[in-house]
Amino acid sequence: MSKTIQRRDFLKSSAIGSLGLVLGIQQLASATTVTKLNPSILELEINPFIIIDTLGNITLVNSRPDMGQGSTQAVPSLLAEELEVDLTKVNIVQSDGRAKYGSQQSGGSSTVRSLWLPLRKAGAAAREMLIEAAANEWKVTPSQCYAKDARVYLKDSGKSLSYGELSESASKLEIPKNPKLKDKADFRYLGKYHKRLDVPSRVAGTAVFGIDVEVPNMLYAVMIHAPGIHTKLVSVDDTEAKAVTGVKRIFASKRKMPHTEVDAIAVVADNYWAALKASKLVKPTWATEGAVENSDDYFAAMHKEVVNEGVNAEEKGDFNAFYKFSEKKLEAVYETPFLAHAAIEPVNATAHVKEDGTVEVWAPIQGPDGALSQVSKYLGVDAEKVKINSTLLGGSFGRKAYMDFLMEACTISKEMNAPVKLVWPREEDTAQGPYRPAMLSSMKGVISKKSNIAGFHHHAIGESIMGQVFGWQPPYEADSWLSGELSEENHKYDFDVHKLSYSRVKTTIPVVWWRSVYASNFAWGQESFLDELAHEAGKDPYEVRMDLLKDSKRDQIVLEALKKAANLDEKLPENEAKGIAMFRSFESMSAACVHLIETEEGIKIAKVTSIIDCGMYINPDQVKAQTEGNIVMGLSAAIKGGITFTDGKCDQSNFDSYQFLRISEMPDVEIVIIENDEAPGGVGEPGLPPIAPALGNAIFNLTGKRIRKLPIEMNSLV
Amino acid sequence: MPLLWVIRDLIGLKGTKYGCGIAQCGACTVHLDDNPVRSCQLQVGSLSKKSKITTIEGIGTPETLSKVQQAWIEEQVPQCGYCQSGQIMSAVGLLNTNPNPTDEDINAYMYGNLCRCGTYDRIKKAIKRAASQPEAAQTTNETK
């Protein structure tokens, strides 16, 4: 039985997190420390990520919360590979937000690509220290020794010492600055198929998610939020609600978001059902102040910007002049809606603001470091007095990196002077946001006399996540996140004349990153419009892309793999069609083909083929799993309803009104991973962006109908 | 009180999950007399003393997993795993009544269980794998 993060280990691990010297992974040259846990066992923190006690128990730290992407195994794999230990024989714990672990944010598909070298170096440094300690013991040179399976051996002798026996002397040695990393050919974990050791707990129901945390004497809370951003609480009639057995208190509160705050009502009880039941019996009187914002208002404001240019992010040549003097040209506007993350585990947090001035929280959050600084700042409590327990996340997709709910739990705990678990009912989770922003792509293209796609202008329009969430978006610059994703350097299409511009249209509707961030919005416009231009030029969409990518062999390899795997040359019957798209995001490339079959029952998505080039990776099965997930989430975003606001309120509330793909709608899937030695790229998100445009392009190829607005109503196509 | 909250907060078995509270997601699926039901909709007062309730904890433990759970491991189904207790309770119910389900049978029976991570393809494969196996001698799980 593996030791994954079970509850007992999880609670115990919190103690480990507070041990020892603060030693960042950038400071491997610094001294190490020895910390006594109890008189009989020494726990030695060789560096913040590796703890070996004198009995030989090895603990590896995962610094990136696991929301389903597999970081619980991926991060320790980097350490174990170089440390030469067996992952089934170590204890894995989650970091607690302290600075010594570096950035602990799961997001931006950054985990493996940012930790690939630092954590391998940490593992290798520890291995070299253990070997040196053994060499000192045997009075030989380190080159006469080698490490294997948590022991150091003296070559050509029967001698060996366990890591436990060596840990104390090893921890007193200087940390090597440039430890030697293993060759790829010798890898045992990296790039290899391994079953995830945390899976047994996830199929036995014993994995502890945020919602499962229990703290002694804990109270349970529901927060009811103002139905609209512009709604104020006038009064509350809680007579009936208070009469529910178990209800402790009902009081007015606030939800603080980066760009605004809204009124809310906290309902606290001694069990969750009582809080939930009472929350439905609370009779608030809300009043609306000033004009409300509907999603249609925001779309109208975005459409007004189509005639403008916006702020230039980049331009090659003079697009407007080129467009004006060209004969064959095209323009079109593409739309994507607001979307909810809709993780099945609703947002929740348990907090205990204690009388002694310390604070402890347990929550499914994407970044314990961000949680630590935000809770500390929010409550005005020194960070040293705040303890963050970062639990498993039952899905997140970006949502649980926005920690409004954690601050709410702190507010309620402080008010109640007790530990409190806050769980948003599903209806609040859906209707309160934050959401993936709705955006427009206003596209213009020019076809040369030789029928090449010579000019391309992507004018991105909509809210800036940077602007709304971080309050920083100068009017003279394009949002750097979207301009990065749409730049020529990123997509590699070599147009003669190219322009990328951005118009910010503000909204009060809360927005945030959602799986693949803006790539999920703008791949739709970029890749659909490229097909439009190809058809206008009388060329094959595949050939057009290959031609535009002539200077980027790596992208061409991805497309060629798609052609082969999806059998693009196959002659299809009239009732079938395929569409393709590709997009590069988070330093990885993905291309997809959607295969449609029309029957008497309508148009069916029969198969999706995805190619992913993420450079070197940790576990091929995890790359496939994430890409499968991206196909499902990408299709849901393409064909299921978005989030809309009417009279200032969200029109959707639960999974009956906000839907995503069910098992019966699941197409066949095929994933191909491109094998190369390129630096690791992202895995959790890059598979998503090409899905919607590949579907739109397939629909055009089947029906001749060009869809420019998401979501697509598949039933209305025939 | 709905059975879901009795199981989770009064008895303290946390494997059964809350997802929607309106029988739309299936995360709270348990067995009532061996048949899958949505525990968020089942008032505990409506149960008789003879009612047999089985939760995911009664299907198998990490040390002694059922063949369905083992098939879930072989296919590496879970991503976050939050919905998987409910998925497995439904799958066990399906195989109890239909030992060799077709794709259509699986789609119809598992329709009510949502997975936001998108593990549906692996769920189908795991159900078929489990269907092809006898209820195995229960073993522990190690990486092979």
Token code pair at residue A385: 């007095």
Average pLDDT, chain A: 92
Number of A–B residue contacts, CB under 8 Å: 199
Quote the CA–CA distance of A212 and A221 in Å, as a whole number: 14
DSSP for residue B9 = I
Q: Which residues pair with residue A538 across a beta bridge? A: none
Q: Tell me how many degrees the CA angle A310-A312-A317 measures, rounded to the nearest 5.
A: 125
Amino acid at position A687, single letter: G
Task: Answer whether B118 touches A (CB < 8 Å).
Answer: yes
Candidates A88, A621, A664; nearest CB to B142: A88
Helix H or strand E segment including A135: helix A111-138
Query: Residue B40: closest CA among chain A residues belongs to which residue?
Result: A273
Question: Where residue A22 falls among pLDDT bands split at 50, 70, 90?
Answer: very low
Contacts of B120 in chain A (CB under 8 A): 632, 661-663, 666
Residues of B in contact with A67 (CB under 8 A): 80
Across the range A406-429, mean pLDDT stands at 98
Give B27-75 pLDDT, tens digit per residue: 999 999 999 999 999 999 999 999 999 999 999 887 889 999 999 999 9
Q: Which of B41, B73, B102, B121 to mutate to test the interface with A (most CBs of A within 10 A)?
A: B121
**pLDDT tens digits, residue range A500-544?**
999 999 999 999 999 999 999 999 999 999 999 999 999 999 999
Q: Do A654 and B15 touch (CB under 8 A)?
A: no
- Mean pLDDT to the nearest integer, A334-338: 98
DSSP A387-408: EEEE-B-S--TTGGGSTHHHHH
Q: Which string of DSSP letters, residue by residue, matches A209-271? A: BGGG---TT-EEEEEEE-SBTTEEEEEEE-HHHHTSTTEEEEEEEEEE-SS-EEEEEEEEESS
What's the pTM value of the predicted model, to 2 decimals? Answer: 0.94
Amino acid letter for position A710: L
Cross-chain Cβ contact B121/A654 below 8 Å? no
Whether residues B110 and A663 touch (CB distance < 8 A) is answered with: yes
CB-CB under 8 Å, B115 with A271:
no
Q: Both tokens of residue A48?
A: 């913040």
- What is the pLDDT, as a whole number, of residue A42? 59
Beta-carbon separation of A629 and B117 below 8 A: yes
* CA angle (A593 as vertex; A588, A594 as ends), nearest 5: 130
b/e code B88-126 from CB counts within 10 Å (16+ = b): bbbbbbbbeeeeebeeeebbebbebbbbbbbbbbbbbbb
Q: Which residue has the higher pLDDT, A411 or A16?
A: A411
Report residue A350's pLDDT band, with 50, 70 and 90 as the boundaries: very high
- Which percentage of chain A shows pLDDT scores above 90? 87
Beta bridge partners, A386, equal: A359
Plot region of A560 (φ>0 → left; ψ -120 to 50 → alpha; else → beta): alpha
Of the two residues A88 and B62, the one the predictor is more confident about is: A88
pLDDT of residue A105: 94
Interchain proximity A397–B119, CB inside 8 Å: no
Give the mean model confidence (pLDDT) for residues A142-159. 97
Q: What is the pLDDT of residues A584-639, one digit of tens each?
A: 999 999 999 999 999 999 999 999 999 999 999 999 999 999 999 999 999 999 99
User: For residue B143, what pLDDT is reported?
Assistant: 32
Pick the more confident residue, A4 or A359.
Answer: A359
Name every chain B residue with its beta carbon within 8 A of the beta carbon of A668: 121
- Interface contact B62-A206, CB threshold 8 A: yes
Q: What ipTM, to 2 d.p.?
A: 0.95
The beta-carbon neighbor of A656 closest among B22, B62, B140 is: B22
